[in-house]
Structure 1
Amino acid sequence: MSAEQTRQKNRNVVLYGIGTVVFMLLFVFFVLRPMYYLICEWTGITGSQFEASETKNLAIDENRAVKVQFLAMNNATMPWQFQPEQSQLTVKPGEVKQVYFYAKNNTTNDMVAQAVPSLSPFEATNYFIKTECFCFNSQPLAAGESVRMGLVFQIDPDLPAWVKTLSLTYTLFDITDSAGATAASFNRLALHNL
């Protein structure tokens, strides 16, 4: 094989490699991501968990009680204290309930957190209606600051009868770097809370 043939073969391999990388990136950004959201929406795994719903005027099912367990955990890199104020609550489908979670930034740095919910069994996701939730927004806290974060929800009476207990878990993630936590963002938060 001549030197020119070797160079041409090497060029073809490099161009094939670059083409493959470009194709993979396009696939990830334009196909895989929308497919992920479609699957999540179809299965109810996450989709509606991050969106506020309006409180519905649902008939309260006085003959049924559903136990709702509240769990809180931190991602491995999150140093905050994070816990529900009550670990469980008995709810009649249709009634509106409010519960609170407590978070404290135990560090000496200003930080921003994001709570990500998970509901099990996952078949109940479409029947658990959150009208207000701290998970809808990031939670900036100054060093040493604490906050009481609310959740207002109701359970649709159409929840399948076999579901007797729901477990709502929030995992708290440190998003300080991606949120660009600056003094200005903390000042806006303080002004908003006045």
Structure 2
Amino acid sequence: MLGKLLVIAVMMFGFGYALIPVYKHLCEVLGINVLTQRDGEADPENTQVDKTRSITVELDSNVQGTLRFRPTQNSITVHPGEMVTVVYEVVNSLPRLVKAQAIPSYTPQSVTPHFRKVECFCFKEQTLKANEARQMPVMFYIDPAVPKEIKVMTMSYTFFEIGGMDKKS
């Protein structure tokens, strides 16, 4: 009886040990759960990008309060569906901590439902230390279903101080 149990235990261990390479090979053959590319493979082209059209996105900033806030570039040309990152810069030149929030707006209004932000500093309140400068990215794409007559749009952020005057630094 002990011998049979030992054989079963060894077989179970061997089966479990053999599953790892079998699983990896099966995933590779089926093209699932592939985390890295083989050498020489190029990134597949994003088929969601409409390369037949381009839209100029003008970047604008407004500030309410004593902060300095601006985009690092004035405009960018994108294809609908293309993932893009732009950067806004904020400077707190005050000798105290400042809490602030950004509110976005887009023109023309017809582009708003097609503008998709993936990452944005406007999603949460920003806390800036005394004399701190920070670059904040906005990652977005414009849905390819955007009306064809849209050639230029403006992405504007109003950055304003919120809460009371906090004297901490």
From the two aligned structures, give the one with the greater helix fraction: 1
1:58–1:156 Cα contact (<8 Å) kept: no
Q: Which residue is 1:23 aligned to?
A: none
| CA shift for structure 1 position 176 | 3.2
With structure 2 as the length reference, what TM-score do the two structures score? 0.69
* Alpha-carbon distance in structure 2 between the residues aligned to 1:162 and 1:87: 22
The letter of the residue matching 1:73 is N
Q: Which residue is 1:165 aligned to?
A: 152
Q: Any runs of at least 4 consecutive aligned residues in structure 1 with deviations exceeding 6 A, and if so which? A: none
Q: Which runs of 5+ in 2 are unaligned?
A: 1-45
With structure 1 as the length reference, what TM-score do the two structures score? 0.61
From the two aligned structures, give the one with the greater strand fraction: 2
* Alpha-carbon distance in structure 1 between the residues aligned to 2:162 and 2:123: 14
* Alpha-carbon distance in structure 1 between the residues aligned to 2:49 and 2:166: 43
State the aligned residue count.
124
TM alignment of 1:1-194, pairs within 5 A = 59-75=48-64, 78-177=65-164
The percent identity for this pair of structures is 35
Q: Which residue is 1:15 aligned to?
A: none
The CA RMSD over aligned residues, in Å, is: 1.8
| CA shift for structure 1 position 58 | 6.3
User: Secondary structure at 1:63's aligned position in 2?
Assistant: coil
- CA 1:175/1:165 → structure 2, altered by over 3 Å: closer, same or farther? same
Q: Which runs of 5+ in 1 are unaligned?
A: 1-56, 187-194
| CA shift for structure 1 position 148 | 0.5
- CA 1:181/1:65 → structure 2, altered by over 3 Å: closer, same or farther? same
User: Secondary structure at 1:125's aligned position in 2?
Assistant: helix
* Alpha-carbon distance in structure 2 between the residues aligned to 1:130 and 1:181: 31
User: Secondary structure at 1:112's aligned position in 2?
Assistant: strand
| CA shift for structure 1 position 182 | 8.0
